[in-house]
């Protein structure tokens, strides 16, 4: 019986170099977080994220405001006068991730893992779209980018957002290549949904080109399918006289390019919308108004 070759033995030189870059990104993120920022929040935004993460870590969505309230005031940690609750003003996705790090005793690990996986995804995207050399060069640029390193070492949500966008992009590429499109549609929907509850405006901005591409491609496929149906109308009517009977519907569905496109795109849309519902639920719990934009509290955008 022939033994299968271990996956790790099939790694090319470029892939091994990417693994080194990923580990380097993880370690340097930890060093920046530990030596530069000392695992402490330095911005009001970070304080709000950390506060909400600790609330989530203890199993709550919000906390009753302690008295005297002004003694515990922070710019972006909101005290709602109507409900009497105290909570962070920013979206709940990143604090939810941070709460995992709190339970692990290492908040920094969330951004470190996100940075590490982002380097790997940049390589994969570059390799699929161009070649292995391009992917390796792009991943090296990201691994040693000063801006990426500084952001990864903070308690800000940018690094997980970058990872989620890259995962969405990579999944979308395989949808377009028709490689298990439904599976990749689910993956893309999960990534986009998590991005929506992490940085909603960023999610809208980065997904818009993909939405336009999907809409144009689906419309074009629909026009082609409609033309095919018209050309085949006489043949189907002569054979059965029941164009929209079950046999014909199945035949149309099997031939339809539109149907093959809609299913993975629908997976993306349904999952993204499902995740987005978490925000109004949180807002209702915190303020009693599910449609309130918490970004407008304290200071505007």
State the pLDDT at residue 1: 47
Q: Has residue 217 been placed in a domain?
A: yes
Q: Across the chain, how many H-helices and E-strands are there?
A: 12, 3
State the pLDDT at residue 129: 96
Q: Compute the distance between CA of residue 56 and CA of residue 58 in angstroms, rounded to an integer.
A: 5
Q: Has residue 225 been placed in a domain?
A: yes
Q: Has residue 19 been placed in a domain?
A: no
Render pLDDT for 168-197 as a digit per residue (tens, 0 to 9): 999 999 999 988 999 999 999 999 999 999
Prediction pTM value: 0.88
- How many CA within 13 A on the CB side of residue 45? 13
Q: Compute the distance between CA of residue 161 and CA of residue 139 in angstroms, rounded to an integer.
A: 17
Q: Has residue 256 been placed in a domain?
A: yes
Cis peptide before 245 (omega within 30 of 0): no
Q: How many domains does the chain have?
A: 1
Render pLDDT for 40-89 as a digit per residue (tens, 0 to 9): 999 999 999 999 999 999 999 999 998 888 888 888 999 998 999 999 99
Q: Has residue 193 been placed in a domain?
A: yes
Domain limits for position 196: 158-288
Of the candidates 198, 196, 195, 166, the residue with the CA atom closest to the CA atom of residue 95: 198
Among left, alpha and beta (phi > 0; psi -120 to 50; other), residue 298 is left
Q: Has residue 281 been placed in a domain?
A: yes
Q: Has residue 141 been placed in a domain?
A: no
- How many CA within 13 A on the CB side of residue 208? 6
Quick check: 237 pLDDT over 70? Answer: no
Q: Has residue 213 been placed in a domain?
A: yes
Q: Compute the distance between CA of residue 216 and CA of residue 220 in angstroms, rounded to an integer.
A: 6
Quick check: 296 pLDDT over 50? Answer: yes
């Amino acid at each position: 019986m022939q033994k299968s070759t271990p996956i790790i033995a099939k790694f090319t030189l470029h892939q091994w170099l990417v693994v080194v870059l990923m580990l380097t990104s993880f370690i340097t993120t930890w060093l920046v977080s530990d030596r530069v920022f000392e695992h402490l929040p330095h911005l009001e935004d970070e304080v709000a994220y950390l506060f909400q993460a600790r609330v989530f870590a203890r199993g709550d969505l919000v906390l009753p405001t302690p008295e005297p309230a002004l003694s515990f005031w922070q710019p972006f940690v909101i005290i709602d006068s109507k409900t009497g609750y105290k909570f962070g003003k920013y979206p709940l996705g990143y604090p939810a991730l941070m709460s995992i790090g709190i339970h692990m005793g290492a908040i920094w690990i969330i951004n470190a893992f996100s940075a590490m996986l982002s380097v790997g995804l940049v390589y994969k995207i570059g390799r699929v779209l161009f070649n292995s050399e391009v992917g390796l060069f792009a991943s090296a640029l990201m691994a040693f980018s000063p801006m990426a390193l500084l952001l990864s070492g903070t308690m800000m949500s940018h690094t997980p957002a970058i990872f989620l966008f890259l995962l969405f992009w990579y999944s979308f590429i395989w949808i377009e290549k028709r490689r298990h499109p439904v599976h990749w549609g689910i993956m893309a929907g999960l990534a986009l949904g998590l991005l929506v509850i992490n940085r909603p405006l960023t999610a809208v901005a980065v997904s818009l080109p993909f939405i336009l591409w999907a809409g144009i491609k689906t419309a074009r496929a629909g026009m082609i399918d409609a033309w095919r149906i018209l050309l085949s109308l006489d043949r189907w009517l002569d054979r059965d006289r029941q164009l929209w009977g079950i046999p014909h519907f199945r035949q149309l569905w099997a031939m339809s390019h539109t149907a093959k496109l809609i299913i993975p795109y629908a997976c993306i849309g349904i999952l993204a919308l499902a995740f987005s519902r978490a925000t109004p639920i949180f807002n209702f719990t915190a303020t009693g108004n599910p449609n309130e934009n918490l970004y407008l509290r304290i200071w505007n955008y």
